[in-house]
A and B are shown apart, each in its own frame.
Chain A
Amino acid sequence: ILNVEQSPQSLHVQEGDSTNFTCSFPSSNFYALHWYRWETAKSPEALFVMTLNGDEKKKGRISATLNTKEGYSYLYIKGSQPEDSATYLCAPLFTNAGKSTFGDGTTLTVKP
């Protein structure tokens, strides 16, 4: 089983704070990485698909970067809002495995 680590495990911020968290993964045989957002009582939904070293993706106040050489991806949220409260999962894929491996997630709570 490939080791995918997400940190921190949980995060509590005030509305308006900017925050970021990390997904670390083995750099060899990297193929792609997905970020998902999982809100309470809902299904996980995809945020970003990242494939190239140096990739930067943005959706509103949320952005992500990718470093395939050192094996990490950062997710940034600018000006957090209560509706950003969710668990954020990363799932890298590797060329020698036909499936994603999910990290344990970072649970973000944004207090009004």
Chain B
Amino acid sequence: DGGITQSPKYLFRKEGQNVTLSCEQNLNHDAMYWYRQDPGQGLRLIYYSQIVNDFQKGDIAEGYSVSREKKESFPLTVTSAQKNPTAFYLCASSIDRGGENIQYFGAGTRLSVL
């Protein structure tokens, strides 16, 4: 089945540790996105990518990094510089950035700090 796969479902980070969240899609979509959700809040954009080897910062990029070496993959690294990483992280993709192209979401990764 086509879709977006995020892994792991749950992740724990120790102080000072970098962790990487995986996002893979087989929808042949050009655009991919990473969002963070905190309790009681909506989705805030961390990074997005329109095409392979290109990505842009979203509204809350500090403390995060991404890569887009392949069309189907858009991993997110939560670095030690992110002082409050505990949140729910969602990955999404769309055909392109056109306004009529809806986003398809993965099931999410819940990150907690030990």
B-binding residues in A (CB < 8 A): 1, 4, 6, 9, 31-32, 34, 36, 42-46, 49, 51, 89, 91, 93, 98-105
Contact = CB atoms under 8 A, between A and B. Distances in A.
Nearest to A35: B102
Nearest to B3: A43
Contacts of B103: 34, 36, 44, 46, 91, 100
A54 to B, nearest CB: 17
Contacts of B45: 99-102
A104 B59 contact: no
Given A98-B50, A99-B33, A102-B44, A49 B97 contact: no
Interface residues of B, number: 25
A85 to B, nearest CB: 17
B105 A49 contact: no
B106 interface: yes
B85 interface: no
Contacts of B65: none
Nearest to B41: A104
Interface string B82-97: 0000000010000001
A103 to B, nearest CB: 5
Contact of B99 (A9, A51, A105): A51
Given A102-B42, A102-B44, A44 B105 contact: yes
Nearest to A49: B100
A107 to B, nearest CB: 9
A34 B102 contact: yes
Nearest to A4: B42
B105 A104 contact: no
B48 to A, nearest CB: 6
Contact of A43 (B44, B58, B102, B105): B105
A105 B42 contact: yes
Contacts of A99: 33, 45, 48, 56, 58, 97
Interface in B26-57: 33, 35, 40-45, 48, 50, 56
27 contacts: A1-B59, A4-B42, A36-B103, A43-B105, A43-B108, A44-B90, A44-B105, A45-B105, A46-B102, A46-B104, A49-B100, A91-B103, A98-B56, A99-B33, A99-B45, A99-B48, A99-B56, A99-B58, A100-B45, A101-B45, A102-B35, A102-B42, A102-B45, A104-B40, A104-B41, A104-B42, A105-B42
